[in-house]
Amino acid sequence: MLRDKNLVPLSRQHQHALALCVRINRATLSTARELDAWQAEIQQHFEQEIQYHFAAEEAGIFPAARRFPEFRSLVEELVADHAQLRTYFTSATNRTLDREALRQFAELLSTHIRKEERQLFERMQERLTQDELQKIGVGLDATLAAAPQTCIVPAETTLNKSGS
C-alpha cells in the first residue's frame, strides 16, 4: 500500500534508520576505533532525528492507534521497543556497546521499524479517515520541525579520515 502523505515524514526517517542498520550489519566491528565510530553515529542519529521521531510517534501516532482495540497490543509492543532502544542509545552515547550489542541494536531497530511500517501504518491507513490522518500529519510536522537540519557523519567517513 502506498504510504499516506501524512505519514511520509516518519517513513523517510525509517529509511534513514534502516540504512544505518544495514551498514552496521555489514561492518566488521573488529576494533575499538570502529566500535567508537559507530556509537558516535548512533548518538548523532538519536540526537538529530530519532528522539524527535519517537516523540512524534508517542504524541500523535500511538494515541490515535490506541483508540482501536486491535492496535493496542501492537502499540504497547512498540512503546516497549522505544524504551529498549532508548537504553541502547544511552549506551552508545556512553560508548559502552560492544560488537554483539551493536548487532542486537541494529536487529531491534530494524524489526521495530518493520512492525511500524508493515503493521501499524498499513492498518491505520485502512481505519482512519483522511481528516484524522491529516490531523496526525499536522502534529507530526510540528514535532519533527524541532529536529536540527544537520548532516550525520557516517562512521565509515570517520574511520577513513583517520586511517582505519
CATH fold of 8-146 reads Four Helix Bundle (Hemerythrin (Met), subunit A) (1.20.120)
DSSP state letters, 118-140:
IIIIHHHHHHS-HHHHHHHHHHH
pLDDT in tens, 117-151: 999 999 999 999 999 999 999 999 999 998 877 66
Please write the tens of the pLDDT for every residue from 57-67.
999 999 999 99
pLDDT digits (tens, 9 = 90+) for 68-116: 999 999 999 999 999 999 999 999 999 999 999 999 999 999 999 999 9
* Average of per-residue pLDDT across 15-23: 96
**All three cell numbers of 134:** 491529516
Q: Phi and psi for 2 in degrees, rounded to 5?
A: -65, 135
Distance, CA of 73 to chain centre: 20
* DSSP character string of 52-80: HHHHHIIIIIHHHHHTSHHHHHHHHHHHH
Q: What residue spans define the domains of the chain?
A: 8-146
Q: Cα(60)–Cα(78) distance, rounded to whole angstroms?
A: 14
Mean pLDDT, rounded, for 45-65: 96
CA 162 to chain centre: 28
Q: Read off the amino acid at residue 112.
A: H
DSSP state of 1: -
The pLDDT of residue 87: 98
